[in-house]
Chain A
Amino acid sequence: MKQKFAALALALGLTLSLAACGGGNAPAGGESPAPQNSAAPQAAGAYVFTTGDGVTVSVDEDMAQVLTDLGEAQSYFEAESCAFEGLDKTYTYPGFVITTRPDGENDYVNSIRLTDDSVSTVEGVYIGSSEADVKAAYGEDGGADQGMLSYTAGGVSLNFILEDGAVISIEYLPA
């Protein structure tokens, strides 16, 4: 009889050890299923954006620091993600828009999009520049996507959307 109990205990023990073993990713329900990527330190040589006032903003930077440097945005919008906690925030400044993603207690820059020709990339490309200008600044190999030239450096993608041969959107994103 003792043996039977021992066998049952062993079977349940094995089952529980399966249940309790670590190793998997975060559980996908209940407590912490947030699907967002976590913040990564900015790699050297990454594309960064510099405002007309000389303030540098980079993808993955802590937004609190950006707000300290840039001051209050012209307008602000926040969107809760469906089901999960955390706000995706949009800060609009003259000439560019910054979006953030939450990670823990902090918000990090997720994208920087240039919206008019009052600002330009560090390499001198702005809204309205030609495709040739982009290639001259960043190289011929801008990828095969239709209507877009994309360059990656230090974990940051710099995307130029073109219409009729001219740049209509410039966006810095995590690669």
Chain B
Amino acid sequence: MRKKLIFTGVLWCVLLAVALWLLNALFMPKYMSEIPEGALIAEYYNETADHDVVFIGDCEVYENFSPDVLWREYGITSYIRGSAQQLIWQSYYLMEETLKYETPKVMVFNVLSMQYGEPQSEAYNRLNLDGMRLSPQKLAAVEASMTEEESMLSYLFPLLRYHTRWSELTAEDVKYMFHRDPVSDSGYLMNVEVRPAENVPEGAPLADYQFAEVCYDYLDKMVELCENHGVELVLIKAPSLYPYWYGQWEEQMEDYAAEKGLKYINFLELIDEAGLDFSTDTYDHGLHLNLYGAEKLSHWFGSWLRENCPQVADRRGEEPYETVWNEKSEAYAQRKAQLEAAWAAEQKEEPEA
């Protein structure tokens, strides 16, 4: 009798756990047809081969660099672990987590997030953290990122956060309960639309241009982490025209890179050299590059990597990279063709002024 009771109790617990797991899978936002940025972080775990270059940072990395070009033109294997408004502590923990899976030769970090010295918004936190696998790095990233209204528990049991979506559920939530379609190409979120940069405003004067101490702390930790793993850390500022990058910020980054012996590239100073034309190479008036701009920038950066980071090898002809990247290139070309056709159709329907 006692055995039967225990068995029944265990059975009910298992059934309850399964029910909760299913509900969690149903209620989690899927980020497929809307806000694909939310699917970026988790996509990394589907990678089958390691990478020599890993980009870490906010939209200025996942919109501005094309790993496909780095492969096709230079045989460089790369991945972008980028996400929307990724804060520096999130970047640090993603970097630490990445090093659990692989040891690239170079980590590239975009420094725009140095401007944020405190947690910003739950909405962006969710896009950046929900996709991370449960790990000490995820817990630390959540702890560092939470705004006052958030709780750690809701990241461990997302159903606590997302149960209010019950009235918004769609067929997509059922379709993608157990899998996702890839939204990116090695972390690059492709956009082929063209909206020229015009009237980009200058930055408003600030009372204090000094980056927060906490940002320097995490940058120091990145330097140390990379040193400990024999990875070269390269700092960059992507060529996005907006938000404004102040001269005072640039000075601080140049000083920091010089002090730590790091390579630092401010692409805003290389717009002409990289061949970027902001009347054709941006899809949102200068905030992000479109595909054509990202390909130009990647062409320039691949050449720079070849010249300045000799540890980054040309993997063309080497397995498994050759097979993996040929498949990736095929998917990239297919996505490009689809997006270009959609954009052309949209233009035809509603020509922009």
A interface list, Cβ under 8 A from B: 4, 7-8, 11-12, 15-16, 18-35, 75-80, 82-84, 90, 92, 97, 113, 145-148, 159, 161, 163, 168-169, 171
Given A29-B162, A34-B123, also A92-B84 (CB < 8 A):
no
Write out the residue numbers on chain A whose beta carbons fall within 8 Å of the beta carbon of B165.
27, 30-31
Given A34-B123, A77-B199, also A19-B23 (CB < 8 A):
yes
User: How far apart are B11's CB and chain A's nearest CB, in angstroms?
Assistant: 9
Apart from A27-B168, A30-B29, A171-B204, what 9 extra A-B contacts exist at CB < 8 Å?
A: A19-B159, A28-B122, A28-B125, A33-B35, A33-B122, A82-B124, A83-B35, A148-B207, A148-B208
Write out the residue numbers on chain A whose beta carbons fall within 8 Å of the beta carbon of B120.
35
Tell me which of A28, A76, A79, A113 has the highest count of chain B C-beta atoms within 10 A of its own C-beta. A28
Cβ of B242 under 8 Å from chain A: yes
Cβ of B20 under 8 Å from chain A: yes
In chain B between 11 and 52, which residues have their CB closer than 8 angstroms to a CB of chain A?
12, 15-16, 19-20, 23, 27-31, 34-35, 37-38
In chain B between 109 and 153, which residues have their CB closer than 8 angstroms to a CB of chain A?
120-127, 130, 149
Given A31-B165, A77-B201, A83-B84, also A145-B207 (CB < 8 A):
yes
Contact B207 A92 (CB under 8 A): no
Tell me which of A4, A15, A159, A169 has the highest count of chain B C-beta atoms within 10 A of its own C-beta. A15
Contact B201 A90 (CB under 8 A): yes
B interface list, Cβ under 8 A from A: 8, 12, 15-16, 19-20, 23, 27-31, 34-35, 37-38, 58-59, 84-85, 120-127, 130, 149, 159, 161-166, 168, 198-201, 204-208, 242, 284-285, 287
User: How far apart are A172's CB and chain B's nearest CB, in angstroms?
Assistant: 12
Q: 5 A-B pairs, CB-CB below 8 angstroms?
A: A25-B164, A27-B29, A28-B29, A78-B285, A163-B205
Contact A82 B37 (CB under 8 A): yes
Tell me which of A19, A25, A90, A171 has the highest count of chain B C-beta atoms within 10 A of its own C-beta. A19
Contact A161 B19 (CB under 8 A): no
Bound-state CA distance A11–B16 (Å) is: 7
Bound-state CA distance A39–B27 (Å) is: 29
Given A29-B130, A92-B199, also A83-B38 (CB < 8 A):
yes
